[in-house]
Amino acid sequence: MVTFIPYIATIFVSICCWFALFNLPDTNRFSCLYDTKLQLVFFTAFLTVGSFLLAMKAFILIRIRDDIYRHEKYKERYLLQYDNQYKGDYYKGLLDLGNLLVVSVAGAFFTSIAQITIGFSKIYPIKCIAPSLVGGMLVLVLFDWLFVYLNLRDWFEFIESDIEKELKEKKETL
């Protein structure tokens, strides 16, 4: 269930944004603002986000695999968590992050394309779909950053303990 939380949150926020936009007291004012200022900005922003995530996906996953999942401290933590037994899901966190990044790339491109397709609709409820996707995608990107941050925090903890151990060994030999 935890694996689906980012996706459920994204859909929930998109739906909430749609209802909020649909129920605005002055829909003409928002429609004018969206058409003149926001639509192309959202298109460009999410095209850029999607391209950036696509370019960084492989690099992020390989670095995390090499620097975290292959580290002795992670292996110890995994065994401690599962009572010294291998459960067949050692790389599950990495797989979840990879899936999240793939969905984020696809979602960012879809959100970008929605701005220049359904965003031009004259029917207000349909037009509201495009900016509401922006809210959902922002949530998904925040989950991306959170997962990468948590992995980086582990990595820094591991390298800090490595250097501490190395310095203690050098101190003992002197």
Residue partners of 140: CB distance under 8 A and separation at least 6: 6, 7, 9, 10, 100, 103, 104, 107
d(CA 35, CA 120): 8
Amino acid letter, residue 34 = Y
pLDDT band, very low/low/confident/very high, at 1 (cuts 50, 70, 90): low
Sign of CA dihedral 142, 31, 15, 109: negative
Q: Please give the share of the chain, as a percent, with pLDDT higher than 90.
A: 78
Amino acid letter, residue 133 = L
Q: What is the pLDDT of residues 134-174, one digit of tens each?
A: 999 999 999 999 999 999 999 999 999 989 988 988 888 87
Of 64, 59, 142, give the one whose Cα is nearest residue 107: 142
d(CA 58, CA 171): 39
Q: What is the pLDDT of residues 17-35, one digit of tens each?
A: 999 999 999 999 999 999 9
Q: Model pTM greater than 0.75? A: yes
Structure-token match 């004259």, residue found: 122
Give residue 110's domain range. 2-173
As a whole number, mean pLDDT of residues 74-96 equals 88
- Number of domains into which the chain is organized: 1
Q: Alpha helix (H) ranges present in 65-128?
A: 72-81, 92-116, 124-127
